[in-house]
Chain A
Amino acid sequence: MSTVPARTAQDLTADVAGGIGHSPQRPDGVLKVRGEFAYSSDLWADDMLWGATLRSPHPSARIRGVDTSAALALPGVYAVLTHADIPGPSKHFGLVVSDQPVLAIDEVRYQGEAVAVVAADHPETARRAVAAIRVDYAVREPVTDAAAARADDAPRVHPDGNIVRYARIRRGDPAPTADVVVRGEYAIGMQDQAFLGPESGLAVPAADGGVDLYVATQWLHADQRQIAPCLGLPQDKVRLTLAGVGGAFGAREDLSMQIHACLLALRTGRPVKFVYSREESFFGHVHRHPATLSYETGATRDGKLVYVKGSVVLDGGAYASSTPAVVGNATSLGAGPYEVPNVHMDVWGMYTNNPPCGAMRGFGSVQAAFGYESQLDRLAAALGLDPVELRLRNALHQGSTMPTGQVVDSAAAVREILTAVRDMPVPPTDPGTDPLGLPGGAGNTTHGEGVRRGIGYAVGFKNVGFSEGFDDHSTARVRLGVVGGEPVAVVRTAAVEVGQGHVTVQQQIARTELGVDRVVIPPADTSMGNAGSSSASRQTYLTGGAVRAACRAVRDRVLDRARARTGVRDGLDLAGGNVVDAGGAVLVPLAELLADGEIDETAVYRPRRTAPMDPDTGRQDFAHLQFAFCAHRAVVDVDTELGLVRVVELAAAQDVGKAVNPGALVGQIHGGSVQGMGLALMEEIQVEGGIVRNPSFTDYLIPTILDTPPMPVEVLELADPHAPYGLRGVAEPPTISAAPAVVAAIRAATGRPLTRIPVRPQDITG
Chain B
Amino acid sequence: MRVTIEINGTERVLDDVWEGESLLYALRERAGLPGAKNACEQGECGSCTVYLDGRPVCACLVAAGQAAGHAVRTVEGLSTVDGELDRVQRAFLAAGAVQCGFCTPGLIVATHDLLARVPSPDDAQIREALSGNLCRCTGYEKILDAVRLAAGSPA
Contacts and interface: CB of A to CB of B under 8 A. Distances in A.
A755 B128 CA distance: 32
A252 B40 CA distance: 17
B155 to A, nearest CB: 16
- Highest count of chain A CB atoms <10 Å: which of B41, B79, B101, B124: B101
B56 interface: no
A263 to B, nearest CB: 23
Given A35-B35, A704-B134, A705-B130, A698 B101 contact: no
Interface in B129-145: 130-144
A275 B40 CA distance: 11
Contact of B136 (A35, A122, A500, A671): A671
B153 to A, nearest CB: 14
A664 B96 CA distance: 7
A36 B33 CA distance: 8
Interface in A657-672: 663-664, 667, 670-672
B57 interface: no
A708 B131 CA distance: 10
A670 B138 CA distance: 6
Contacts of A667: 96, 99, 137-139, 141-142
Interface string A277-315: 110000000000000000000000000000000000000
A673 interface: yes
Main secondary structure of the interface of B (DSSP, over half): loop
Given A35-B76, A194-B136, A670 B142 contact: yes
A278 B37 contact: no
Interface residues of A, number: 62
Contacts of A498: 100
Contacts of B85: 30, 33-34
Main secondary structure of the interface of A (DSSP, over half): loop
Interface string B7-46: 0000000000010110001001100011111111110110
Given A122-B18, A698-B44, A704-B134, A674 B140 contact: yes
Contacts of B34: 35, 38-39, 41-42
B92 interface: yes
A727 to B, nearest CB: 19
Nearest to A43: B34
B38 A41 contact: yes
A246 B96 contact: no
Contacts of A705: 126-127, 130-131, 133, 135, 140, 143-144
Given A30-B85, A696-B40, A704-B131, A25 B136 contact: no
25 contacts: A23-B96, A25-B94, A29-B98, A32-B104, A33-B85, A33-B92, A33-B93, A33-B104, A34-B35, A34-B75, A34-B79, A38-B34, A39-B102, A41-B34, A123-B25, A196-B40, A196-B47, A197-B100, A198-B38, A436-B128, A437-B124, A500-B99, A697-B44, A704-B132, A705-B140
Interface of B: 18, 20-21, 25, 28-29, 33-42, 44-45, 47, 74-76, 79, 85, 89-90, 92-94, 96, 98-105, 108, 124, 126-128, 130-144
